[in-house]
Amino acid sequence: MGREWRAPSERIRTASEIPIGVELMDEASVPAYMKISEKVLHLRRLGMAYSKIAEHLGVNPWMAKKAARWGYIQKG
Complete DSSP assignment for 35-73: HHHHHHHHHHHTT--HHHHHHHHTS-HHHHHHHHHHHHH
pLDDT value for 2: 57
How would residue 70 be classed by pLDDT, with cut points 50, 70 and 90? very high
Domain ranges, ordered by start, for the chain? 37-76
How would residue 3 be classed by pLDDT, with cut points 50, 70 and 90? low
pTM above 0.85, yes or no: no
Cβ atoms 50, 57 nearer than 8 A = no
- Summarised one tens digit per residue, pLDDT across range 10-58 is 676 676 777 777 777 777 888 999 999 999 999 999 999 999 999 999 9
